[in-house]
Structure 1
Amino acid sequence: MKKIVIALALIIFSFIAWDSKVSAEEIVVHKGETLWDIAQTENTTVENLIELNNLTSTVIYPEQVLLTEGIKNSHIVEVEKGDTLWKIGQEYSVSVENLKHWNQLDHDLISIGQKLTIDGPNIDAASVETNANEVSANTNTEEDTAIQEVETPVTIEEEQAEQPADTTVKDESIAGHTISVTSTAYTVQSAGGSGITATGIDLNANPNIKLIAVDPNVIPLGTEVYVEGYGHAIAGDTGGAIKGNKIDVYVPTNQEAFNWGVRTVNVTIK
């Protein structure tokens, strides 16, 4: 009976905490915005925006009207001890940039007890029920373990020894897939182009953006990544010499490109 009550309480609480709504709205493109910027803000993809608006390329213009639609969920979380924007973003499968945008933050610092709003299409009623079932299953396991401690203590020690291994696997799946690559750096000037990337991002209008050029066969375009020594970035460009496990990190100045040089780094693909 206790297990049923716990499961039902979790389901009810989750439905109250999440505010889901179907939205279809028009937005106006502002100067300097790209499809990637809009996709990040609206929790969608560049491909979805292109298909929804019958676009033939990733080039958009100021004052252009675009249609966005999809299911958005709003959730309020309270910051607990040890929480960071990165940790919360990983838990809810959203980026740090989106968390800062939704909560009007201009820095990465958060405090215990602070309320944060999370918008995203990642949680729905089905997943709430799944989580409730998992909690119920865990409750069963705990009760079964308590009984076994009296009857077969040796078996319990063996099962508990195996549990950390399961936890490690879950942590790795959340962190993403990490690969080792050879990296160089480039600027708009060194690339000799217009500053418009393969995904339509204007580097001249966004000089401080974190972006890397990749081989799409290794890291798909539009993927969020974490580059050792560089930070969170978007795979938003390609290059003729970028083949296999090699990337080019974008930096705004030639001095920064010179300082980066050529180095081997780990890239975590989210």
Structure 2
Amino acid sequence: MAPAPVSPVRRARRRRKFRPGLTLAVLFLAWVAVAALAPQLLTSVDPLEVSPADSFTPPGPGHIFGTDESGADVYSRVVHGAGTSLLIGLAATAIGVVFGTIIGLFAGLSNRFVESAVMRFLDVTLAVPELLLALVVIALIGGGTLNAILAIGAAGIAYYARLVRAQTHIVRQSAYVEAATTLGFSRLRVVLTHVLPNAIKPVLVLATIGVGGAIGAGASLSFLGLGTPPPAPEWGAMLSVGRNFISNAPWLILVPSAFLVATVLAITAVGRDLRRRSEGRVAR
């Protein structure tokens, strides 16, 4: 007995379910996660091990991505650098979300005068590009990985604060919040059990996309010599050193930049898909 023919509508749905780009993004992020948590599973070479005799070895069987000016294996440095780059992105985004949520919730629940004062301050902050604001913070507190995380996180606070404030206005006017207030629940209980969880949900989805931007900002600061200092295996620091040898060893620029761009694009693709799903939209 011949199988029943598949309708065009069902065939189109199957094509929409399988998205090669999103699948590749998830697989690449899985590789980045393994590299960050257990780099020894991907390479056994010490990223700080130098061998001057092997300096500027081009990509080949012995060194899949070649070696740098000190003879260190570029692939090993890329693998171990994923942990630092991912740490900067996640930690900086967490700082922005936490403090942005506190400020946005405070503004959304305050009276009109206080809310207006807070929002005008946030508007002034948002008028300055995030990377430039991070550079200002770095100039005040100094460079280094930890200070780079603090600077990038501080630069993103205003963005998340505006989102939380807007969501707070929507949630506080909903029926379940009015019902909880009518039942005599305390203001603190209403805020913690009803307003905060529902106001922060869409913000957390957008924060996924923000992780990619924070990773890029961290690499930019390291490239300028204000983030993770060399010879630490970090993608931005690798770019900073590799630019000096771009004429005779272009792989020192191409390899870390390719992994940096791929990571940001993969995080953005996954974040956009999560955003579509949270809004109930089907990706075409």
Give the TM-score range, shorter chain. under 0.3
Structure-1-length-normalised TM-score: 0.26
Which of the pair is proportionally richer in strand? 1
